[in-house]
Amino acid sequence: GVVATELAKVLASKGHKIHMLSYAKPARLETLDSNIFYHEVAINAYPLFEYPPYALALASQMVNLIEYENLDLLHVHYALPHATSAYLAKQIMAEKGIHVPVVTTLHGTDIT
Protein backbone atom coordinates (compact mmCIF):
# COMPACT_ATOMS: atom_id res chain seq x y z
CA GLY A 1 0.00 0.00 0.00
CA VAL A 2 1.35 3.24 -1.30
CA VAL A 3 -1.74 5.18 -0.21
CA ALA A 4 -1.91 3.52 3.20
CA THR A 5 1.77 4.14 3.88
CA GLU A 6 1.65 7.80 2.86
CA LEU A 7 -1.50 8.32 4.94
CA ALA A 8 0.19 6.64 7.92
CA LYS A 9 3.20 8.93 7.61
CA VAL A 10 1.06 12.07 7.58
CA LEU A 11 -1.09 10.95 10.52
CA ALA A 12 2.00 9.91 12.49
CA SER A 13 3.59 13.32 11.88
CA LYS A 14 0.50 14.87 13.48
CA GLY A 15 0.97 12.78 16.64
CA HIS A 16 -1.33 9.82 15.95
CA LYS A 17 -0.12 6.31 16.74
CA ILE A 18 -0.50 4.15 13.65
CA HIS A 19 -0.44 0.35 13.63
CA MET A 20 0.00 -1.16 10.16
CA LEU A 21 -0.86 -4.82 9.60
CA SER A 22 0.12 -6.82 6.55
CA TYR A 23 1.69 -10.10 5.47
CA ALA A 24 4.70 -8.08 4.24
CA LYS A 25 6.14 -4.69 5.15
CA PRO A 26 4.95 -2.03 2.67
CA ALA A 27 7.71 -0.97 0.25
CA ARG A 28 7.35 2.73 1.10
CA LEU A 29 7.68 2.09 4.81
CA GLU A 30 11.48 2.26 4.68
CA THR A 31 11.98 3.43 8.26
CA LEU A 32 9.51 3.47 11.08
CA ASP A 33 8.47 6.78 12.59
CA SER A 34 8.20 6.74 16.38
CA ASN A 35 4.40 6.72 15.93
CA ILE A 36 4.22 4.00 13.24
CA PHE A 37 4.21 0.37 14.28
CA TYR A 38 4.35 -2.46 11.75
CA HIS A 39 2.82 -5.84 12.61
CA GLU A 40 3.39 -8.77 10.29
CA VAL A 41 0.41 -11.10 10.01
CA ALA A 42 1.64 -14.67 10.37
CA ILE A 43 -0.04 -17.04 7.97
CA ASN A 44 0.04 -20.70 8.83
CA ALA A 45 -0.02 -23.24 6.02
CA TYR A 46 -2.74 -25.87 6.26
CA PRO A 47 -2.36 -28.98 4.10
CA LEU A 48 -6.14 -29.16 3.66
CA PHE A 49 -6.36 -25.71 2.03
CA GLU A 50 -4.79 -24.68 -1.26
CA TYR A 51 -4.50 -21.09 0.02
CA PRO A 52 -3.70 -20.12 3.62
CA PRO A 53 -6.58 -18.51 5.58
CA TYR A 54 -5.16 -14.96 5.57
CA ALA A 55 -8.50 -13.29 6.39
CA LEU A 56 -8.78 -15.23 9.66
CA ALA A 57 -5.16 -14.59 10.62
CA LEU A 58 -5.67 -10.88 9.90
CA ALA A 59 -8.88 -10.73 11.96
CA SER A 60 -7.11 -12.44 14.86
CA GLN A 61 -4.24 -9.95 14.70
CA MET A 62 -6.73 -7.07 14.61
CA VAL A 63 -8.45 -8.37 17.75
CA ASN A 64 -5.08 -8.67 19.51
CA LEU A 65 -4.13 -5.10 18.61
CA ILE A 66 -7.51 -3.71 19.63
CA GLU A 67 -7.18 -5.40 23.02
CA TYR A 68 -3.50 -4.74 23.75
CA GLU A 69 -2.97 -1.37 22.04
CA ASN A 70 -6.43 0.10 22.79
CA LEU A 71 -7.05 1.05 19.17
CA ASP A 72 -9.70 3.71 18.58
CA LEU A 73 -10.72 2.44 15.15
CA LEU A 74 -9.76 0.20 12.26
CA HIS A 75 -9.08 1.84 8.90
CA VAL A 76 -8.69 -0.83 6.24
CA HIS A 77 -7.81 -0.71 2.57
CA TYR A 78 -9.22 -3.23 0.10
CA ALA A 79 -12.63 -4.78 0.49
CA LEU A 80 -11.32 -8.33 0.36
CA PRO A 81 -9.93 -9.54 2.65
CA HIS A 82 -9.33 -6.46 4.81
CA ALA A 83 -12.90 -5.21 5.23
CA THR A 84 -14.07 -8.77 5.87
CA SER A 85 -11.38 -9.25 8.51
CA ALA A 86 -12.22 -5.92 10.14
CA TYR A 87 -15.89 -6.89 10.29
CA LEU A 88 -14.99 -10.19 11.96
CA ALA A 89 -12.77 -8.37 14.48
CA LYS A 90 -15.52 -5.82 15.13
CA GLN A 91 -18.02 -8.61 15.84
CA ILE A 92 -15.60 -10.43 18.17
CA MET A 93 -14.99 -7.21 20.10
CA ALA A 94 -18.75 -6.50 20.26
CA GLU A 95 -19.19 -9.84 22.02
CA LYS A 96 -16.75 -8.49 24.63
CA GLY A 97 -18.70 -5.24 24.96
CA ILE A 98 -16.16 -3.14 23.03
CA HIS A 99 -17.30 -0.97 20.11
CA VAL A 100 -14.71 -0.53 17.36
CA PRO A 101 -15.57 1.72 14.41
CA VAL A 102 -14.40 0.48 11.01
CA VAL A 103 -13.50 2.72 8.08
CA THR A 104 -12.92 1.09 4.69
CA THR A 105 -11.19 3.00 1.92
CA LEU A 106 -11.43 1.51 -1.55
CA HIS A 107 -8.95 2.69 -4.15
CA GLY A 108 -6.76 1.15 -6.78
CA THR A 109 -7.17 -2.36 -8.10
CA ASP A 110 -10.07 -3.38 -5.88
CA ILE A 111 -12.47 -0.95 -7.56
CA THR A 112 -11.24 -0.96 -11.15
pLDDT in tens, 36-72: 999 999 888 878 888 788 999 999 999 999 999 999 9
Determine the pLDDT at residue 112.
63
Full-model pTM: 0.87
Check pLDDT > 70 for residue 77. yes
Average pLDDT over residues 2-15: 92
Q: CA–CA separation, 57 vs 40, rounded Å?
A: 10
**DSSP assignment letter at 110:** G
Which residue in 23, 18, 65 sits closest to 41, CA to CA? 23
CB atoms within 10 A of CB 103: 11
Determine the pLDDT at residue 3.
87
